[in-house]
Amino acid sequence: MTDVPPTLTPAIRTTMLPRDTNALGTIFGGVILSYIDLAGAIEARRVAVHRYVTVAMREVVFVAPVYVGDTVSFYAQVEKTGRTSITVRVTVDAERMREPNIVVRVTEAEVIYVAMNDDGRPTPIFPETAPPEHPTV
């Protein structure tokens, strides 16, 4: 079980469906990775509205399976903001459908995004201003 800080709300919360399963009947890891990418991008856009591209996803280790019917929450927090890049930590918890109030940490990842301009080139996240401070988690 995990402890989520009470002030942290998920960027995304969804219920896993049969269409999301792999050959073993658990949720396909690629589905979880896709949601991680979306949750991180949502958090990045809360900091500064840009078009972001994903540059890297680090340390994704699946420590518990996700099952059909589980409610999965994707929590995202900015860890670092650079000139054109932003790093977001995404943690993933699953509330078991068959065991209400049991929440299991599934995985977490550090995702790095780069802000892009209309020409597809990196652009400063905060033009001509200093980035706001983001506490390190």
Distance of CA 120 to the CA centre of its chain: 23
> Is residue 64 a contact partner of residue 96, using CB atoms and an 8 Å limit?
no
Per-residue pLDDT tens digits for 68-120:
999 999 999 999 999 999 999 999 999 998 887 899 999 999 999 999 999 99
DSSP state of 130: P
DSSP state of 69: T
Asked, for residue 7, whether it belongs to a domain, the answer is: no
pTM summary value: 0.86
Asked, for residue 133, whether it belongs to a domain, the answer is: no
Asked, for residue 131, whether it belongs to a domain, the answer is: no
Asked if residue 135 has pLDDT above 90, the reply is no
Asked, for residue 28, whether it belongs to a domain, the answer is: yes
Q: Which domain holds residue 110?
A: 12-116
pLDDT band at 7 (very low <50, low <70, confident <90, very high): low
Asked if residue 6 has pLDDT above 90, the reply is no
Asked, for residue 74, whether it belongs to a domain, the answer is: yes
CATH number of the domain to which 85 belongs:
3.10.129.10
Structure tokens at 124: 């400063």
Asked, for residue 3, whether it belongs to a domain, the answer is: no
Asked, for residue 91, whether it belongs to a domain, the answer is: yes
Coil, strand or helix: which one is 3?
coil
Of residues 133 and 53, which shows the higher confidence score? 53
Asked, for residue 125, whether it belongs to a domain, the answer is: no
